[in-house]
Structure 1
Amino acid sequence: MSPSPGTPREVDTLVIGAGQAGLAMSYWLTHHGVEHVLLERRGTLGGAWLDRWDSFYLNTPNFALSLPGLPYDGQDPDGFIPRDAAVEFFRDYAARIAAPVQLETEVTRVARDGERFTVETTHGVWSARNVVLANGAFQEPRVPAVAHKIPQHVLQVHSHDYRNPQQLPAGAVLVVGTGQSGGQITEDLLAAGREVHLSVGMCPEAPRRYRGQDVFHWILQVNLHGPEHGINGLMADHLPSPAARFACNPLLSGNDGGHSIHLRDLGRRGVQLHGHLETAADGDLHFTDDLPARLAMVEAGFGQRLKLLADAYIAAAGINAPEPEAPPPDGWLPEAAGSRLTLAEADVTSIIWATGYGLNNSILDMPVLDGWNYPRHTRGVTEVPGLYAVGLPWLTRHVSATLPGVGPDAEFIAEDIAGGRA
């Protein structure tokens, strides 16, 4: 559907996306008296949480259910809420702040037009002094090239489109990827009695609780207050490379009251573990023959980074916390890992690609993106005057794409917009 002809509608600031980042942006723009409209491509509010599977629970505890003007004040700060409750949380927040949202409006092009922007959408054209990209961190499902070599009779589903085991045909399931989605979907399939094969990635395992707190408590504290004590490891300026912005998060789950996911435990429960999926031909899949080393690296990941930062923060801030707990040694390995899997022999009838997302900012008709399709910016203020970004992974810090992280970034951007208007 092409934009309607006619004179463009004018507004001071357009926010593209009405998920958690867009709503936080709306709160602060309203606070500063900036006229704005949020354009949301979906027909209802709820953001990317609408794309999660039926049994999904948020991976962050309830104490992180915090947006500008609405800190968490419930009775279960260490609990976890299911997908549908999360969607209702955002809808309620949008109503509380009277966010000016226009639904079912997909942006197709953003171009600089003199001192303003022309924004083309499926429901007409807008003219805006400022544009804020709040279109999320989960934009384009990534599927590896090897997917094209899978036999056509095998159902292939990205985790983005997975909802429950019942949507899959009878037979075994191969899950590719062991980030949070891959681990949690594997558990969902196990609970339904499905036979599961799992291609192991390199996302680190982590304890659900560490030194007396949920591990996300320490991650959040290091993000928000670490620099006050010289702990800067979770700030974007201290990343080793731009590619590190897309590193996967620790392997955790909010289901069943919250727990860590241990790949060796999944193996003991019957999941067939494999290395990295390399090639496929005529229904034969070949994996790297490095599963023992891969499992060891996954288990060591927390101790090499997040644990060190949490311990350093606890010491620097003088926090009275229990001593670090050493994980029990675990040398379990499958009797026969195997680097080859014949789909027909294993009765694998479906593959779930839990292989993450990439950024897609092709709507921007201006040279502002780096090699990863990430806007070049400083604290969300891009190189193009009047163009901003919020809610992206590692925009300013590790938690910039999470509920408690979008508020501070949105506040800074709103102040810049309000100051530029003056």
Structure 2
Amino acid sequence: MLSAEETAPRQASQRIDTLVIGAGQAGLATSYWLSRHGVDHLLLEQRPELGGAWQDRWDSFYLNTPNFAFLLPGPTYDGPEPDAFLPRDEVIDLFRDYAQRIAAPVRLGTEVTRVTEGKGGFADTPGFAVDTNHGSWRARNVVLANGAFQRPRIPPSSATIPAHIRQLHSHDYRNPAQLPDGAVLVVGTGQSGGQITEDLLAAGRQVHLSVSSCPEAPRRYRGQDTFYWILQVNLHGPEHGITGFQVEQLPSPAARFLCNPLISGNDGGHSIHIRELGRRGVRLHGRFEGTDDGVLTFSDDLPARLALVEAGFGQRMGRLADAYIAAAGIDAPPAEPAPADDWLPAGSGARLDLDAEGVTSVIWCTGYGLDFGFLDLPVLDEWNYPRHTRGVTEVPGLYAVGLPWLTRHASATLSLVGADAEYVAGHIAGR
């Protein structure tokens, strides 16, 4: 692997057939297929080391998908525990090993600052001018593979929280020791919010939790890990008439950004139930709405919100898994009914006086937004998402891989990003 210092351009502009922006799982999968097609290419990675966004996870993080789901093209996971879950550092090592095994041409520490139309660098062929912090390039093709975890999202109302309260996004959270003594408010109950709450509880912290609408899910369903059924429906559902996980079935483009089910890979993999967190001492609140004279306010709908969170899996993912099992004729055990649970905390949790409750920190587990600020091309829709068909954008020679719902539900995952990368690489080779 080449560092930016070792490979910094010595001329004003270099030429290459294809530049891939990003060397996470999407970029590496694209590189694999470009190499198979014999396409001259280079991956530009702004980080100083390989490992993608997994390097931004907290110390106790475990991959939420089982090892069998590591399905990047070519060499994949071949360890002794396909049903286990990898800790963060092993995930990073796995990616670095993968990059070496496929001989991916990566230039590290290279941030792309501008992409615009220009000559492709080969006679008068159209293409792109790409500026970086280490020089400029001319390329016939550019692949956007910089991922879905680009810009941490924090609500503007966070600015009204008192200045003495420590605030950070889950992107920057590593462990409880980095926080001042005192209680912690976690905002959001996607996978990050649930897992960080458990991390804080294990350290003996008092935790307040603002509940969002992300669905809970059983870790195992009908004899398999839940992700096994998600993967099968994505891969083989259309063969049996089950198309709910295809992008064409989304109710609106905004649905591409809905959160993933609340599960964890820690402790051998388990479900996370918000009511159970409440029984363990977590103080539950509704959706964060803002501040009122130093007091945080939340939606006063916690009972309905908890019911919505608990029903989400059965209404969509569970139903699709059941339909697939039936259509494919799979002999799977029946679903176990979820135990009735009507526990509710005392009080509505609609207001929180930070000082009175000893809260000294807020962790925003509120997800990420896409960031293509370097693109000087008219290709983004109102959600900042490239307009495309199967990763081929409206601008000839510009492609996208590794975005949520690029072609289906799991397009951005380790399991299925390779299929989209294969299609894009074939399109590039065919130009």
TM norm structure 2: 0.96
Q: Aligned with 2:415: secondary structure?
A: helix
Q: Aligned with 1:86: secondary structure?
A: helix
Shift of 1:30: 0.3
Please say if 1:41 is aligned against 2:52. no
Query: Which letter maps to 1:379?
Result: R
Query: Which letter maps to 2:398?
Result: L
Q: Which residue of 2 aligns with 1:148?
A: 159
Percent identity between matched residues is 72
Please say if 1:401 is aligned against 2:401. no
The ranges of structure 1 where at least 4 consecutive aligned residues each deviate by more than 6 angstroms after the TM superposition are none
Deviations 1:284-306 (A, max 9, x none): 01111100000000000001100
Q: Aligned with 1:403: secondary structure?
A: coil
Q: Which residue of 1 aligns with 2:134?
A: 123
Please say if 1:183 is aligned against 2:194. yes
Please say if 1:378 is aligned against 2:389. yes
2:85 to 63, 80, 86: 80
CA distance in 2, matches of 1:336, 1:257: 34
CA distance in 2, matches of 1:14, 1:71: 24
Query: Which letter maps to 1:90?
Result: F
Note if contact 1:150-1:281 (Cα within 8 Å) is conserved in structure 2.
no
- Structural mapping, 1:21-420, within 5 Å: 21-114=26-119, 115-420=126-431
Q: Aligned with 1:218: secondary structure?
A: helix
Q: Aligned with 2:195: secondary structure?
A: helix
Note if contact 2:12-2:135 (Cα within 8 Å) is conserved in structure 1.
no
Please say if 1:10 is aligned against 2:21. no
Q: Aligned with 1:404: secondary structure?
A: coil
CA distance in 2, matches of 1:6, 1:334: 65
CA distance in 2, matches of 1:7, 1:140: 30
Shift of 1:283: 2.0
Shift of 1:41: 0.1
Note if contact 2:16-2:140 (Cα within 8 Å) is conserved in structure 1.
yes
Shift of 1:362: 1.2
Note if contact 2:158-2:290 (Cα within 8 Å) is conserved in structure 1.
no
Q: Aligned with 2:23: secondary structure?
A: coil
CA distance in 2, matches of 1:293, 1:77: 38
Distance 1:187 1:230, change over 3 A: same
Structure 2's unaligned 5+ residue stretches are: 1-7, 120-125
CA distance in 2, matches of 1:396, 1:315: 24
For structure 1, which segment, 72-81 or 216-225, has the greater mean C-alpha deviation from structure 2 after superposition?
72-81
Query: Which letter maps to 2:353?
Result: T
Query: Which letter maps to 2:113?
Result: T
Deviations 1:329-381 (A, max 9, x none): 00000122331110000010000000000001111101000011100000000
Query: Which letter maps to 1:71?
Result: T
CA distance in 2, matches of 1:338, 1:265: 16
Q: Aligned with 1:41: secondary structure?
A: coil
CA RMSD of aligned residues (A): 1.0
CA distance in 1, matches of 2:349, 2:153: 26
CA distance in 2, matches of 1:283, 1:242: 36
Shift of 1:383: 0.3
Note if contact 1:199-1:276 (Cα within 8 Å) is conserved in structure 2.
yes
Query: Which letter maps to 1:91?
Result: R
Note if contact 2:184-2:359 (Cα within 8 Å) is conserved in structure 1.
yes
Q: Aligned with 2:426: secondary structure?
A: helix
Note if contact 2:243-2:249 (Cα within 8 Å) is conserved in structure 1.
yes
Query: Which letter maps to 2:257?
Result: F
Query: Which letter maps to 1:107?
Result: V
Say how many residue pairs are matched.
418
Query: Which letter maps to 1:28?
Result: W
Shift of 1:74: 2.4
Shift of 1:4: 7.5
For structure 1, which segment, 162-171 or 66-75, has the greater mean C-alpha deviation from structure 2 after superposition?
66-75
Shift of 1:77: 1.3
